[in-house]
Amino acid sequence: MKTRALLFLVMAPLVSGQAATAPKTNVLLIVIYDQNGFAGRTDIASQAVTPQLDRFAKSGMTFANAQCAAPVCNPSRTAFLSGLRPSTTGIYDNSQDSLPKDHLLMRSISLPTYFRDQGYHLAGAGKVFSSAIAAAAGKRIWAESIELGRKAKKHAPAPPEGEGMNAIGKHAWGPLYKSKEEMEDWKLAGWAAEFLTKPHEVPFFLACGIVKPHTPWYVPQEYFDLFPPQSITVPDLAADESAGLPESVREKTHKTEAELIQRRKELLSAYLASSRYADDCVGRILKGLTDGPNREHTIVVICGDNGYEFGEKHNWSKGSLREGSAHVPLIIAGPGIAAQQTCMHPVSLLDLYPTLVELAGLPAKSGLDGVSLMPLLKNPAVAWDRPALTTAGFKNHALRNDRWRYIRYADGEEELYDHTADPLERSNLANKPESAKIKSELQQWLPKHDEPRNPDSTGGKGED
């Protein structure tokens, strides 16, 4: 079964000439940390992974082939919140957590800041900004927020030591013998829900960053009970995950890979449990919207920032240019969007900035690298030849169109996968003579300029 990604967008009816007289539309942005294309999947476990998202998707449009602009947090969030590619800003990895005063981002306007400049009240909390874009937007971007624990990223309360806790390398997981009400994401969701149940005199831009399913995968026992390892039905790894890869890009075998393979379904169980907990947090926020007075005039965007892989091509995290790391949830629903619609064309998170600006009826923002998804919102089957671009480091790019994923690295090595015949990306066709025309057509969409890594040094430990 093909992996589905989700994008929800609640919007006012698309009536010609209405924007000039209608009230300004609110925005609710929910970003889920490390949520991969498992969102919406009902074939991989005995229980639905994201029933709240699935339910909400029925009221509008699902973008089933959404791709992040970069497969790790800092460059991904920097890209879709600035509207600029990594190859434009020079932000490529998580260690770039400080900016020189003359950096392009310091002269740019982030997505929330643009809405603030148009008279919006900004409210937000949780993991929304990454370090680079946060440095550009400023520490006091939110006019209204909630104070969460300093270690909210690790999700206090800390798990008990001893039985039930597991760790292999950077992966840690196990059931918390605490309630979800004691966790930071749940508190954030409650704050956002309360905000949404209140009337607001001015339009608002509310942003919520859900940390799970980011590691460590510590969530209450009730979520682990939903996903026993033996119930998981994802495809097995190939006998040789390196087969067909260019020599220069063969992944080094993880030091703990033998143990990871042996316990792979345990890791997947913990990831799915964390995803289900995050989904419940999203559902709590959406209930606040449904119960309050703002639903009919609120644009809602729900997305992940990057995917996550479990051993494909020896990758046990994120960061690759392949489908598992690049495919993310992205969903749109509400007034003016036909219910139960699905768009299969690849789209990029980079397109969120111009799309939201147009949906809200605001003046167009110039200088953005993404394009508005409005044509697809009106007709998901409209011709769309623009592939989604994902970048992982300087001059390393992947392009995803309806059928193909083409990867070109800085040294010129290539990968090409036919997703119609090979959705698991196991047969690299890049060196086949018959692939030359396909590669040539896709290469025209590669960036014409690749900004060198800037800043070239870290200001701290960075993110993960």
Residue 353 tokens, joined: 């900035």
Q: What is the pLDDT of residue 2?
A: 44
User: Does residue 101 have a pLDDT over 80?
Assistant: yes
Closest-CA residue to 153 (of 233, 216, 85): 216
Q: What is the pLDDT of residue 462?
A: 66
What digits encode the pLDDT tens for the residues 273-316? 999 999 999 999 999 999 999 998 999 999 999 999 999 999 99
What digits encode the pLDDT tens for the residues 11-31? 444 433 333 445 689 999 999
Per DSSP bridges, beta strands 204-210 and 26-32 are parallel
Reduce the DSSP state of residue 330 to 3 states and report it. strand
Q: What is the mean pLDDT of the chain?
A: 90
Whether the Cβ atoms of residue 360 and residue 27 lie closer than 8 Å to each other: yes
Say how far residue 99 (Cα) sits from the centre of its chain. 23
Closest-CA residue to 399 (of 450, 347, 355, 356): 347
Report the pLDDT averaged over residues 194-200: 97
- Which element (helix H / strand E) includes 199? none
Residue 102 tokens, joined: 């003359």
Burial of residue 242 (CB within 10 Å: 0-12, 13-18, 19+) is middle
Higher pLDDT among residues 335 and 460, named by residue:
335
Identify how many contiguous H helices and E strands the chain contains and give both numbers. 13, 17
* Letter string b/e over residues 274-304, b meaning 16 or more CB atoms within 10 A of that residue's CB: bbbbbbbbbbbbbebbeebebbebbbbbbbb
| Type of residue at 350 | L
Reduce the DSSP state of residue 300 to 3 states and report it. strand
User: Does residue 140 have a pLDDT over 90?
Assistant: no
State the DSSP code for 8.
B
What digits encode the pLDDT tens for the residues 314-366? 999 999 999 999 999 998 776 677 788 999 999 999 999 999 999 899 999 99
Return the bridge partners of 219, or none: 175
Tell me how far apart the alpha carbons of residues 150 and 168 are, in angstroms, rounded to a whole number: 25
Higher pLDDT among residues 458 and 257, named by residue:
257
Tell me how far apart the alpha carbons of residues 8 and 15 are, in angstroms, rounded to a whole number: 20
Tell me how far apart the alpha carbons of residues 184 and 206 are, in angstroms, rounded to a whole number: 17
Question: Got the DSSP string for 390-458?
Answer: EE-STT-EEEE-SSEEEEE-TTS-EEEEETTT-TT-----TTSGGGHHHHHHHHTTS-S--PPPSSSS-
Closest-CA residue to 396 (of 311, 319, 315): 319
Whether the Cβ atoms of residue 46 and residue 228 lie closer than 8 Å to each other: yes
Q: What are phi and psi of 344, to 5 degrees?
A: -95, -10
Whether the Cβ atoms of residue 40 and residue 362 lie closer than 8 Å to each other: no
Residue 397 tokens, joined: 């790019």
